[in-house]
Amino acid sequence: MMSTALLFTILNLLGTFVFGLSGAMVAIRRHFDIFGILVLAVATGVAGGILRDVLLGAVPPEVLTTVWPMAVACLAGICAFFFKPLIDRFTRPVMLLDAIGLGVFAVAGCRKAMILGLEPAGAILLGVITAIGGGILRDMMAAEVPRVLHEEVYALAAFVGAAAYVGLIWLGVAEIAAASIAVVLAVGLRLASVRFGWSLPRATKG
């Protein structure tokens, strides 16, 4: 059976890869060259983890102590460069990749915060920050309004995933099962919000 440590290592690498893909796809859409694509892929893939580690005092950040996060993000950029037509077959590929990364990083970031001693509320907040950090930097570097400020349900989906993980652990659910359920819930909520046009209330103009 897969160990919890292995599961979260896989989740972190998966989150880095799909966020890297989403960054690369945005860069391609903005007509960046290959170097720009790799830069945006790496920035998107590792920014959330760097911000999480700095806020937790886990310095130097993990991305600077092991080669794998940047290597995986670069691989994502290369895959996007060579296989863009294949990725484009999916409906709204950036949104889909973003949703997967959002759910994965929300749970992985929340767990690391709990391991380092944060209370549940702080761990949930760190999970959300981990999940949205890469997307915010990607959008800013591509001169776009960050999705977290205007998309249907974005940061809320990360919050729900992180909160679900904390709640399931508190209820005594096995860690692997809790993580899997929480990731699926966050990703599902994000995708459903886009599919059905769900949104949070907005201030009226006037």
What pLDDT, on the 0 to 100 scale, is given for residue 88? 86
What pLDDT, on the 0 to 100 scale, is given for residue 43? 96
Distance CA 132, CA 101 (A): 9
Say what the pTM is. 0.89
Count, residues in the chain: 206
What's the pLDDT tens digit per position in 71-82? 999 999 999 999
Q: Around Cβ 11, how many Cβ atoms within 10 Å?
A: 19
Distance CA 76, CA 38 (A): 8
Residue 150: pLDDT band by 50, 70, 90 thresholds? confident
Contact 41, 115 (CB under 8 A): no
Distance CA 51, CA 39 (A): 17
Residue 2: pLDDT band by 50, 70, 90 thresholds? low
What pLDDT, on the 0 to 100 scale, is given for residue 202? 75
Contact 116, 58 (CB under 8 A): yes
Local structure of residue 5 (DSSP, 8 states):
H
By C-alpha distance, which of 153, 186, 136, 157 is closest to 19? 136
Instruction: Provide mean pLDDT across the span 55-72.
Output: 92
Instruction: Provide mean pLDDT across the span 176-182.
Output: 94
Residues 190, 191, 193: CA angle, nearest 5 degrees? 65
Distance CA 94, CA 60 (A): 30
What pLDDT, on the 0 to 100 scale, is given for residue 1? 54
And the tokens for 134?
């890469």
Distance CA 106, CA 118 (A): 15
93 pLDDT above the threshold of 90: no
What pLDDT, on the 0 to 100 scale, is given for residue 206? 60
Distance CA 112, CA 115 (A): 5
Residue 165: pLDDT band by 50, 70, 90 thresholds? very high
Look-up: residue for tokens 């920035």? Answer: 43
